[in-house]
Structure formats: structure tokens, C-alpha cells
Amino acid sequence: MNIRVEELDARDLEVYARIPIAYVVGSIFRVELVDGGLGGIRLTEEPVESPYVKDYDAYKDGPPTRWPEQFDVSNWGVFLAMDGEQPVGAAAVAWNTNGVNMLEGRRDLSVLWDIRVAPDWRGQGVGRLLIGYAAQWSRQRGCRQMKIETQNVNVPACRFYQHVGCVLGDIRRFAYAGQACVAHEVQLNWYLQL
């Protein structure tokens, strides 16, 4: 694999947005409380009755080209993985940005806001390469951790984050309760120690 990673201006997201983020949900992690939660929480992978496509760009925040309308992206790192002249993956990291609640007001925490790999390139190391660049960028800004949000319906992402050294830090069962289209999902927040 001869992939190079370029850093983009965080306001120039046209090429970034062309890389699809959609995936097929074929299984989920069922979240089960043990002894009402006092005995812990168990995640059990189980198939969904009818697989479906989930596309994060189709939700209310929209595609990456809308991020600068919603946030001051001047403290964001945006990376594009290229095979020759073909974009094959991308990642964005938020840091020290008002209005990004996932940052918890901490200057020693970054958030992997988005990561995407073109379908034909998934499973070939592009995501690992992008996580490495995002982690290095975060370290250079004094971050001790990088936080990554996903959901129990994105089993491949959960397995990937675990594989690259992240640990599951938070399970928020009711995080999306106010959003009807995803109210059934559970937020899983992963942390990478930097």
C-alpha cells in the first residue's frame, strides 16, 4: 500500500465529502444491564432482523461541507488519505472548539469528529493510518486523550477502535432519546491514550 496523507484546510471539505461514510448495519451490540447495572453492563453482538444502510452524512448535521457553518473549524485537523490522485479516506479532529460538547471543556482532549474510508479500501490499513495522523496531530497540541463517538449499531467501527488500542470509556444508553430516527441507538465513546 502506497498511501500518503495530506492535511487539508478545515474549510476546504469538497474532496473530503466525496468519500462515502455509509455502511451496512448487519449486527448490533445489544446492551444489557447486569443486576440493574450494579453488576456491570454486557455488550452482546447479535444480527439485525433486516440489514440496513446507515449514512451519517444524511443526518441533521449533514455532510462535512456544512461543518464550517456550524463550528469554528480553525482548531480542527483535517486529513485526506490519497492513492496517487484518488482520495481513499479522510479524518477530522476537533480540538479547543466552543460548541463541541464532546470536548468537555478540556484542552487536553481531542475528538475524532469523523473518519471515513472508501468502500473498496476498507480493511486495508487506511483507517489505521488516519488514526495515527489524528493522534500525532492531537499530541502536538498537548492532548492526552482522543475521544471517539460511535453507536452500538456500528459493530465494525467498535471492533476497529478496539483493534487500534482504544478503550470503551462511556456507554450512554439514552444519548439519542430526543432524536426519533436514532432513539434506539446507544452511544459508545472510545478513548485513545496519547
Residue 175 sits at the vertex; the CA angle it makes with 191 and 178, to the nearest 5 degrees, is 155
The whole-chain average pLDDT of the chain stands at 95
Q: 108 with 96: CB under 8 angstroms?
A: no
Q: 113 with 96: CB under 8 angstroms?
A: no
Q: How many CA atoms lie within 13 A of 125 on its CB side?
A: 6
Domain ranges of the chain: 4-193
Residues in the chain where the model's pLDDT stays below 50: none
| pLDDT the model gives residue 11 | 82
| pLDDT the model gives residue 30 | 97
Within 116-164, where are the H helices? 126-140, 155-163
All three cell numbers of 142, joined, read: 498537548
CATH T-level assignment (fold) for domain 4-193: Aminopeptidase (3.40.630)
| pLDDT the model gives residue 12 | 84
All three cell numbers of 93, joined, read: 479532529
How far apart, in Å, are the Cα atoms of 111 and each of 45, 47, 147, 168? 26, 29, 5, 14
| pLDDT the model gives residue 129 | 97
| pLDDT the model gives residue 187 | 98
| pLDDT the model gives residue 59 | 82
| pLDDT the model gives residue 62 | 83
pLDDT in tens, 50-107: 999 999 999 867 899 999 999 999 999 999 999 999 999 999 999 999 999 999 999 9
| pLDDT the model gives residue 74 | 95
| pLDDT the model gives residue 61 | 75
| pLDDT the model gives residue 98 | 94
Kindly report the three-state secondary structure assignment for every residue of the chain: CCCEEEEECCCCCHHHHCCCCCEEEEEEEEEEECHHHCCCEEEEEEEEEEEEEECHHHCCCCCHHHHHHHCCHHHCEEEEEEECCEEEEEEEEEECCCCCHHHCCCCCEEEEEEEEECHHHCCCCHHHHHHHHHHHHHHHCCCCEEEEEEECCCHHHHHHHHHCCCEEEEEECCCCCCCHHHCCCCEEEEEEEC
